[in-house]
Structure 1
Amino acid sequence: MKKANLILLLLLWSIACHSQAIDEAANDTTITTEYNDGVLWLYEDIENVTVGTTCYKIKDYGKQYQIHIYIYNHSDTPLLFDPTKVSASLATKTGDTLQLQVYTNEMFQKKVRRSQTWAMALYGFSTGLSAGMAGYSTSYSTTYSPNGLPYTTVTQHYDANAAFQANMVASHQIQTLGNMMKNEREVKEQGYLKMNTIHPGECIVGYMNIKRKKGTIMTVFIPVNDVVYSFDWDVR
């Protein structure tokens, strides 16, 4: 059990969501700003719909930008938010513009599953190898020949019960790790933005991950109905 916990802690350490806030690029007079618990948010209000964002650098199954999005519908008609329409571009130091990968919930869950499958395979191999060797033991005995010279005899022993117990422990550890990975995926899915109809007077808040690359200004485009809200973030 301790080995399973250690492996999971190492896995979680590699994907820890230690975040770093990103500064705004103040070049749009239509954007308003405010701080919420020390975190900068940008807001844009168009046609009675307010969209706000904040941005972090995180490590979560790779280096990501994480955009938290707030959408408030104070119009008199429902509106549709489709996360597959969210996009992002990145200006580089050389003046080029790159299109960044914006992960939908389904895409990021697939990425997490793929990484967890590799981690589970490596852990299963290590645990199975240890369990397979658990039933074997080696003993050494020294005897002397008639001329007085010593020689050592090596004898291997196999304990079927010890091997059975080791395999039981290994199976339990793998099952425990699998359950913990499943719980982690479920936690990550909570709050990840999905398609939503936002009725008048309602709002939604959630986040999306964007594959991180080196650059200067990242622009995030958030279409809501027929209006595209754009926000610039200084990611240097």
Structure 2
Amino acid sequence: MALSLKPKLLTINALCALWLLANTAVKAQEVTTLYYDKNGKGLDDKNNAFFYRRVKFNTSDKPVGTIEDFYMSGKPYSKGEALYIDKRNDAKSRWTGTIITYNEKGRQIKQGSFDTEGLLDGKQLLFDKEGTKIQENDFVHGNPIDCFYKVYTPDGVAVNYSYLTKMPVNLATTDKKLGRFTDKNVIFQDGQPVQFYTTASGLSVAARFSMQQLWGDYFEIYITIENGTTEQFNFDPSEVTAILQKDDKMIPVDVLSYDVYASRVSHKQKWSPGFSAFANAASLNPEGYRLIANKAITAHADSISGYKPYSMKQNINEGYLKLNTLLPGTRLIGFLNVKYKRADHFLLNVPVNGYVYQFEM
């Protein structure tokens, strides 16, 4: 009898296991409702919520399928697919594919496109409350393709606006072009990001923001410029500008000149430890930022038509930046002080040899 019951027992155990797996999968696929305020901050309940989200998570807490957001009135707010959903801060959520946002009248007001890594990719569109297109930005893997975006007039005419000046290109206050965003990369030094551009001609421009506020209401920005080209050029730090973004307003802020800096800070004051570490790390690398990036970046640079490898032969460890001529094979290392103000976003514009290279914090 015992032998005859064993197959039945195995069958029952197998069925129980399958039931448990199926039940777990069903529970994992149940719809979860999340609440957010107008700024995308997660809420514990619907009190003070601006919209709510219906999403399914798998056993790894990864979102599954189409995610739908609704105004508290129940009308559709947005929909699309996500790689990751942050339940406390929606700004940290990562999306993929096309995401469409609607106003409460049901008209499309925004369309975003993302690649498989969650980075902006393709056309990003904005519409007015009537559903008419008012702005178009074109991205590839997280970076704008051009140095301008399109703003549409009420008559439907496209006007190119500069990312640098936030003004129409034909009214721009600078005669310089923006460095290509696709040439921009990031590495880390002592846990802090160093943003840098490398060009096919051999030019490299790097910046690191000091997170520590220094004397008065200023903080430091460390800058390295490497001339791997065959031509010399002047770098004038007085042309460096900074812009703060706060509540959708662009506010220029002061970048101290060397003369003002020297008049306010004792000549006996030593450089900050942060800048000394940055300068030492840059000086020890003869190949420049071109070769400290990963293999994928190196391969991309090698594929650029006209690219030539370079090596730094001379370091100018400037301290506070002043006007300098950079000969071929020369690296300039220095820092600037920028007026400190609270803001949502910080943009630094560094003009080098006819182009402006933008760095963000």
Range into which the TM-score falls when normalised by the shorter chain: 0.5 to 0.7
Alpha-carbon separation, structure 1, partners of 2:322 and 2:345? 26
3-state secondary structure, aligned to 2:348:
strand
Alignment map for 1:47-196 (pairs within 5 Å): 47-92=201-246, 94-112=247-265, 181-184=266-269, 191-196=319-324
Greater helix content: 1
Match of 1:205 among 310, 333, 351: 333
1:34 match: 187
Give the Å deviation of 1:110: 2.1
3-state secondary structure, aligned to 1:40:
strand
Judge conservation of contact 2:229–2:329 (CA < 8 Å) in 1: yes
Judge conservation of contact 2:214–2:220 (CA < 8 Å) in 1: no
Structure 1 segments of 4+ aligned residues over 6 angstroms from their partners: none
Alpha-carbon separation, structure 2, partners of 1:42 and 1:223? 15
2:349 match: 221
1:125 match: none
Q: Identify unmatched segments of 5+ residues in structure 1.
A: 1-25, 113-180
Q: In terms of mean alpha carbon deviation, does 214-223 or 42-51 score higher? A: 42-51
Size of the aligned set, in residue pairs, is: 138
Judge conservation of contact 2:205–2:226 (CA < 8 Å) in 1: yes
Alpha-carbon separation, structure 2, partners of 1:197 and 1:108? 21
**Structure with greater contact order relative to length (CA < 8 Å, sep ≥ 6):** 1
Judge conservation of contact 2:318–2:333 (CA < 8 Å) in 1: no
Give the Å deviation of 1:229: 0.8
Alpha-carbon separation, structure 1, partners of 2:232 and 2:331? 11
2:107 match: none
3-state secondary structure, aligned to 1:84:
helix
Alpha-carbon separation, structure 1, partners of 2:215 and 2:323? 23
Alpha-carbon separation, structure 2, partners of 1:97 and 1:197? 32
**TM-score normalised to structure 2 length:** 0.36
3-state secondary structure, aligned to 2:259:
helix
2:223 counterpart letter in structure 1: I
Alpha-carbon separation, structure 2, partners of 1:183 and 1:29? 41
Alignment CA distance shift 1:187-1:91 (3 Å): closer
Instruction: Show CA shifts across 1:62-121 (max 9, x none).
Output: 1223110010011000111101001110101x1111101001211112233xxxxxxxxx
Alpha-carbon separation, structure 2, partners of 1:208 and 1:187? 12
3-state secondary structure, aligned to 1:77:
coil
Alpha-carbon separation, structure 2, partners of 1:213 and 1:63? 8
Alignment CA distance shift 1:34-1:105 (3 Å): same
Judge conservation of contact 1:79–1:199 (CA < 8 Å) in 2: yes
Q: CA RMSD in A?
A: 2.2
2:342 counterpart letter in structure 1: K
Judge conservation of contact 1:58–1:64 (CA < 8 Å) in 2: no
Alpha-carbon separation, structure 2, partners of 1:205 and 1:54? 11
2:198 match: 45
Alpha-carbon separation, structure 2, partners of 1:187 and 1:66? 10
Alpha-carbon separation, structure 1, partners of 2:332 and 2:235? 9
2:264 counterpart letter in structure 1: K
1:98 counterpart letter in structure 2: I
Alpha-carbon separation, structure 1, partners of 2:322 and 2:341? 24
Alpha-carbon separation, structure 2, partners of 1:52 and 1:190? 15
Instruction: Show CA shifts across 1:127-146 (max 9, x none).
Output: xxxxxxxxxxxxxxxxxxxx
